[in-house]
Amino acid sequence: MSMRGQPIVEHHGIASGTEMSTWATLKRGFVLSPELKKGIWVTVALAVLSTLGRVLVPFVVQRITDEGLLADGGPDLGSVAMYIGVALGGVVVTAFSAYFVNIRLFQASENGLATLRTKAFRHIHDLAMLTQNTERRGSLVSRVTSDVDTISTFVQFGGLMLLINVAQITLATVLMVVYSPLLGLVVWVCFVPLFVIIRKFQGIVGRAYTRVRERVGDMLGAVSEAVVGAQAIRAYGVEERTAQRIDAAVEAHRKAAIGAQARSVIAFTSGQLVSGMTTAVVLVVGTVLAARGSLTLGELLAFLFLVNLFTQPVQQATEILNEMQNAVAGWRRVIGIIDTEADVADPGDRGVTLPRGPITVQFNGVGFAYPGGDPVLHDIDLTIAPRSRVAIVGETGSGKSTLAKLLTRLMDPTTGTVQLDGVDLDSIRFSTLRSRVVLVPQEGFLFDGTLLDNVRFGRPEATEDDVRLTLTELGLDPWVATLPLGLATDVGQRGESLSAGERQLVALARAYLADPDLLVLDEATSAVDPSTEVRLQRALDSLTRGRTSIAIAHRLSTAQAADEVIVVDAGRIVERGHHTDLVRLGGVYAGLHDSWVAQQTTV
Amino acid sequence: MSTATPSTLREGWSVIGRGIRGQPRWFGLAVVGSVVYGIMTSLTAAAIGFVVDRAVTPAIAARSVTAGQLWFIGGVMSAVVLTTILGVIGRRLAGGVAMFNLGAMYRRQVTRQYLRLPLSWHHKHPSGQLLSNANADVEATWNIFGPLPMALGVVVMLVFGVLQMLIVDPWLAVVGLTVFPMLFVANIAFQRAMSPRVTRAQQLRADVSEVAHESFEAALIVKSLGREDHEAERFRAVTHELRDANIEVGRTRGRFDPAIEAIPTIGTLAVLFVGTLRVRSGLLSPAEVVQIAYLFSILAFPVRALGWVLAELPRAVVGWKRISAVLDAEGSMAYGPRRLPTGTASHLQAESLSYAYEIETEQGDADLNPAVVDVSLDIAPGSTVALVGPTGSGKSTLTNLMMRLVDPDTGAVLVDGIDLRQVRQGGVSEVAALVAQQTFMFDDSVRGNITLGLDHDDDAVWRSLDVAQGAGFVGDLRDGLDTHVGERGASLSGGQRQRIALARAVIREPQLLILDDATSAVDPSVEQAILSRLREASTGTTVLVVAYRMATILLADEVVYLEEGRVIDHGSHEQLLSRCVGYERLVTAYARESAERDAIAADEEVSR
């Protein structure tokens, strides 16, 4: 990949959706996880029922006190027993409806979040390669893991509790007004400032949680260096420096977490403060009223129960609103990725399905520039005939890798079009494009599993015999024989149990087994020893007859074997033709060839 | 998978104990806050009773209220509220600080361990797992410190509650004394039922993360082979397993939660019933019954904090087990006290080195796969030696042994006669530098990646880049040396990363330079330039270079040819060429190929 003018990517490149309002986030979240809404009204009805039960109990307690305990002429055991019976009924109703509410909520939320996770995961793979590269891999992972997890607590309890709390606050208000309109007013007057404060705190707490989530990403990035870079760190003795970098990230996370905690504590305790002070004010005002004879002591005490009924849901709601900010911060990040446009997109059903067979490649006036950078390819016109074997050569940074990425549609050209068999690349369905055109990059990633599974990654239905045949055809049997368990050898995570050259052999076999009509090799054998490479080259020569193959290479042995060599320099095609002719021409290729030959000569 | 056996409880307490010892002050402050909160909450009912008794009732009886009485009511209530809130702030804030401090503390310890443990340990542990040890597992372990102070406060609150009941009436206290143990038993049962389910969910959460991690790292391959559907299916399967496990957690919670919530309410009703009987017998006043009933309703909610702690316990224990596996890992390299001599090129010797990787057979047994077998080398100071061999012949393993990134199973590596195992920590990298086959870039600037924190000025950095043929492209970068290379150098090409890695080695002016196929991703002409500049720049340096290309090999004074981990031959290039068949076939592969192609081309031309 050329760097000329390519802007260096920034972290947190993909929108976290910070500009999205809480309400818009919630709305979009529900659209993306339709399961959350499924049967929600039954759940709400059950929740209201369980709330009624909860409200009934203190109400009954108050009645017992008033009509049973404090009855004229001593306690009335009969009415106490009757009310206790009613209250027990309430308890049973509450317990049962709460049970069903819990289960329904867990089912709805877990189903909804599983859908959200899989949607986001799939969409990340659908994003253009350049978009994927703007974000750390760890950060992408957090979008389908911990970000979703922060949502779950809120959807499982918070969301519904908030509704119930509002219902309970309303009910308590009605009851308070029935008991004493004046004291009801007093309670509300006390709470108005709290509602104002809560609104203000929402933003503050929300931003604090967003910071925490970002610091988590940084911290994971720093820790992963100690793990993935273990060899480099030891080779250069930079353990101490790495430790300091990790410490800084850990410390930044700790500070952010404590900062968020402090803000949410302040928000929460302000609710508690107002609740407590309201009780005090009610007692004071109530005493005045009672002294004037407009309220009995029993009514005043009963009213205190009601105040409790009112303040508890308010306090809980403040807590839930804090939690909601945490959830919304996570939700925004997941939505941010789902709503990022996949700009190198599969045309899907509207697209063209190409029949199988050798492919003609055409570049028509193709230019390419990385976002915000200078052009790295200029006005490329090129036709590659079917069944031909083409080598693209050029100096590092000449744009030859960019050509490969354009023709496999990992990126779309800035100007001009790329065509396969006369069809614009961007109107070919991915299902045919990816099965017919395969790129083997320089660093072929291997999955943690056996050699067998890795080779058949591109064609999972292939049998073990198919895999053996492929390796034999590529002349890799002697190599497989040196592996401790042959095909069953575990390649380790990222294939790290193998050497870099061996990983390239696996990647090549994997692509070959996928049986494409156009094979694009981007420095695919750069770490393989010469005699293996030559053997491989010969095998590929005979095997790729009948299909089109394009190899990008700096080892010119590949170019020599090709039907045609295309020489790229500074983003333009400067020479093309057969190896022998180009050497004779005495131009750029001849220069490259001279230095290659110089490297191979014995004297 | 752990269940809530008594041992989980015991292990849980030991984790908690460790945490308390780690953050005694903040934790102590949180507990004090919590106790204040507990006492004040249980006193709220008494305070209301107190002001009703002292001020409200007299005012009502007198049918008039004095300002003093109102100040008294307001004052007492405000004092209670404010003290309670101070308690809450102390509990939550100090508790949070304790929790996050513990998290940071153990993250540092765990990552120090990652840096300390040898490379062989890293080879055995998937990086996804190590990342989750440092993140999710640390979090799971210390999360319990969130509800813990509250729970301790609740215990105090309960003791206070029971005391109050005892003072008021022994019979009501008996009700309380039956309800609270019931709550405790219910919570224990809850924790036992939850424990295996929560543990399973936690494991699946790690699995989901592992699949996502691997899949996103493989994004390019997934794309170019069109395997998005296949990957999405793999992720969907594990996500659905997690979903089902979480629903199972919810089901259990659904069963226990309502019951645990109902117990205090039933207690309140029992108090009222028993209380009514006691009032009828004239042994109790109605006000006292109301006070205890109120106490129950206030205590009902906080008591659940005990349940939260018990529910967190299995997670904490599982998390701690995973962390301590890292913290207790043995096999760190032992270092000696010696320094390597500086100032002159190193004399590098290997004495019958052998090294084997541990592998797992299909039956799951451990087995050894020899990578280097009985290798002896003697590399004179200032000389350049090429290490040649087919793919997978043990060259990289040998370079790792030379840098003491791993220790040999048998034999020794000596630099200037000193066994590397006797050298002090960091001593090897003071004199030697390795440019590995696969370069690693830090998420830092180009400058940071070259100096790695050493004190070099920009001139030195540019000079080393010049030797590595990297000055040109770095100069073209928007921010030059300050350009951030991104995670693992994602914004650079393979050839650019290699040149920065070379500059990183060159700037240190090492006495021993080991290049492991370090120019595989650059063009022949660039490689040629790098090698000739290196030769000029490294007069006082011993160079060991893993190479395939003739030009590189020709720079060497001596060639060592390796096959399947053994030294097959060594000597000058000409000697090996004439007497070592494997070597001859390997290094002349391109030339032979080229000659054959030329011959064919010539034939074609003749026949044309």
Q: Report whether pLDDT(A11) > 50.
A: no
> What's the average model confidence in pLDDT over A216-222?
86
Do residues B15 and B117 share a domain?
Answer: yes
pLDDT digits (tens, 9 = 90+) for A550-560: 999 877 888 88
- The full length of chain B comes to 608
B492 touching A, CB under 8 A?
A: yes
Cα–Cα dist A85/B248, whole Å: 34
Please, which residues have CB within 8 angstroms of residue B355's CB and are 6 or more apart in sequence?
Answer: B370, B371, B372, B397, B401, B406, B408, B409
The mean pLDDT of B576-605, rounded to a whole number, is 82
Q: Tell me: do B462 and B524 sit in the same domain.
A: yes
Residue B195 lies in a domain: yes
Q: Same domain, yes or no, for B443 and B484?
A: yes
By C-alpha distance, the chain A residue nearest B62 is A291
The burial class, CB within 10 Å (0-12 / 13-18 / 19+), for A590 is middle
Q: Do A534 and B593 touch (CB under 8 A)?
A: yes
Q: Which domain holds residue B487?
A: 348-599
Give contacts of B100 with chain A, Cβ < 8 Å.
254, 257-258, 261
Note which residues in 539-568 of chain B have CB less than 8 A from chain A: 548-552, 554, 564
Q: Over the range B277-298, which residues count as b (16 or more CB within 10 Å of their CB) and which as e?
A: ebbeeeebebbbbbbbbbbbbb
Enter the CATH code of domain A22-338.
1.20.1560.10
Q: What mean pLDDT do residues B164-175 have?
A: 84
Can you tell me the distance from the alpha carbon of A427 to that of A410, in angstroms, rounded to the nearest whole number? Answer: 14
Fold equal for A22-338 and A361-600: no
Contact A396, B522 (CB under 8 A): yes
CATH code of the domain covering residue B594: 3.40.50.300
Q: What is the pLDDT of residue A307?
A: 86
The span from the CA of B479 to the CA of B490, in Å, is 16
Give the chain B residue nearest A562 (alpha carbons): B597
B558 CA: distance to closest CA in chain A (Å) = 14
Q: Is residue B606 part of a domain?
A: no
pLDDT tens digits for range A94-138: 889 989 988 998 999 999 999 999 999 999 999 988 888 877 777
Distance of alpha carbon A159 from the chain centroid: 23
Q: Considering chain B, what percentage of its residues have pLDDT values greater than 90?
A: 35
Cβ-contact A498, A564 below 8 angstroms: no
Mutate to test the interface with A, among B256, B487, B584 (most CBs of A within 10 A): B487
What is the per-residue pLDDT for A467?
94
Model pLDDT for residues A224-280, shown as the tens digit of each residue: 889 888 888 988 888 899 999 999 999 999 999 999 999 989 888 888 899 889 989
The fraction of chain A above a pLDDT of 90, given in percent, is 28
The pLDDT value recorded for residue B538 is: 64
Query: Rounded mean pLDDT of B418-429?
Result: 91
List the single residue in A with minimal CA-CA distance to B47.
Answer: A280
pLDDT at A12: 44
Tell whether B319 and B401 lie within a shared domain.
Answer: no
Domain identity same for B461 and B497 = yes
Question: Does the structure show a pLDDT above 90 at B290?
Answer: no
pLDDT at A137: 78
Nearest CB partner across the interface for A106, out of B213, B220, B250: B250
Domain locations in chain A? Answer: 22-338, 361-600
- Least Cα separation, residue B455 to chain A (angstroms): 13
State yes or no: pLDDT of A2 exceeds 60: no
Neighbours of B304 (CB within 10 A): 20
Q: Which of A536-545, B48-57, B349-358, B374-383 bottoms out in mean pLDDT, i.e. has the lowest?
A: A536-545
Residue-wise pLDDT tens digits, B347-383: 999 999 999 887 777 677 777 888 899 999 999 998 8
A280 neighbourhood in chain B, CB within 8 Å: 73-74, 77-78, 81
Q: How far is B12 from chain A (nearest CA, A)?
A: 24
Q: pLDDT for A174-186, tens place per residue?
A: 988 988 898 889 9
Do B391 and A8 lie within an 8 Å CB cutoff? no
* Cβ–Cβ below 8 Å for B111 and A223: yes
If one counts the domains in chain B, the total is: 2
What does the alpha-carbon distance between residue B319 and residue B2 come to, in Å, rounded to a whole number? 11
pLDDT tens per residue, range B476-489: 888 889 988 887 88
**Residue bearing the bigger pLDDT, B137 or B305:** B137
Name every chain A residue with its beta carbon within 8 A of the beta carbon of B51. Answer: 283
The string of pLDDT tens digits covering residues B181-198 is 888 788 888 878 887 888
Nearest residue of A to residue B499, measured between CA atoms: A396
User: Which of B327, B358, B377 is a domain's end point?
Assistant: B327
Nearest CA in chain A to B239: A114
Instruction: Flag whether the ipTM exceeds 0.95.
Output: no
d(CA A175, CA A168) in angstroms, rounded, equals: 10
Residue contact B403–A595, C-beta within 8 A: no
Query: Do the chains contact at A75 and B590, CB–CB below 8 Å?
Result: no
A321 neighbors A138 (Cβ within 8 angstroms): no
Q: B104: domain CATH number?
A: 1.20.1560.10
Q: What is the pLDDT of residues B104-151, one digit of tens each?
A: 999 999 999 999 888 888 877 877 778 888 888 898 899 888 888 888
**Residue B333: inside a domain:** no
**Domain check: are B313 and B375 in the same one?**
no
Q: Is the pLDDT of residue A5 over 70?
A: no
Mean pLDDT of the A196-213 span: 86
Cross-chain Cβ contact B89/A265 below 8 Å: yes
Helix residue ranges, H only, A339-450 = 400-407, 430-436
Q: Which residues of B touch A140 (CB under 8 A)?
A: 212, 216
B29 and B124 within one domain: yes
Say which of A219, A293, A499 has its CB closest to residue B392. Answer: A499
Question: Chain A contacts of B249, Cβ < 8 Å?
Answer: 106
Least confident of A303-317, A466-480, B454-468: A303-317
Question: Does B367 share its domain with B315?
Answer: no
CB pair distance less than 8 Å for A268 and B209: no
B234 vs B252: CA distance, rounded Å: 28
- Answer whether B332 touches A (CB < 8 Å): no
Same domain, B287 and B181: yes
Of A74, A276, A484, the CB nearest to B369: A484
- Residues B11, B87, single domain; the answer is yes
Whole-number pLDDT of residue A13: 56
Per-residue confidence band for B607, with pLDDT thresholds at 50, 70 and 90: low
pLDDT in tens, A427-461: 999 888 888 899 998 887 898 889 999 999 988 89
Q: Note whether B319 and B378 are same-domain residues.
A: no
Percent of chain A at pLDDT above 70?
A: 96
Q: Are strands B558-563 and B384-388 parallel, antiparallel or unpaired?
A: parallel
Of the candidates A233, A500, A534, the beta carbon closest to that of B590 is on: A534
Among A280, A396, A484, whose Cβ lies nearest the Cβ of B495? A396
Would you state the pLDDT for residue A7? 32
Over residues B33-46, the pLDDT tens digits come to 999 988 888 788 77
pLDDT of residue B6: 58
Average pLDDT score over chain B:
86
Cα distances (Å, whole numbers) of residue B416 to B342, B378, B396? 10, 11, 22
Domain spanning A361-600: CATH 2.60.40.10? no
How far apart, in whole angstroms, are the C-alpha atoms of residue A65 and residue B272? 8
